[in-house]
Amino acid sequence: MASPRISSSAWRERVAQWRASGTALQADADEHGFAAARLNYWVKYVEREGQSTQLVPVRIPQPAAAAGLELRSPTGWTVRVDPRVEPAWLAALLSGLR
């Protein structure tokens, strides 16, 4: 005959009582008619529950705005290039300035 099903809340209470008793796990299981392995399972289960994951807010700073690129020629002209410009476009521009 199968043993009656015991609710998880009853097992949590049983674990709390065992901890408060100070007796050995095997002795407590024998005294209350449980398999020591079953009580041990619930002891570990309750411990894992107590170590629940806690979400912590995290702030990810925005990257500093790139300053872009400023080209100055020896003859005095200046070209300011947006940091989002395509490298191929910049290469074509520089080729045209030669």
Q: What is the CA radius of gyration of the chain?
A: 35
Residue 13 has pLDDT above 60, yes or no: yes
39/69 same-domain check: no
pTM value is: 0.48
Q: Does 46 map to a domain? A: yes
Residue showing tokens 């809340």? 9
Q: Please, which pLDDT band fits residue 82 given cuts at 50, 70 and 90?
A: confident
Strand ranges inside 1-98, DSSP E: 69-72, 78-81
- Show the tokens assigned to 70: 């400023």
Q: Does 78 map to a domain? A: yes
Q: Does 18 map to a domain? A: yes
Q: Does 57 map to a domain? A: no
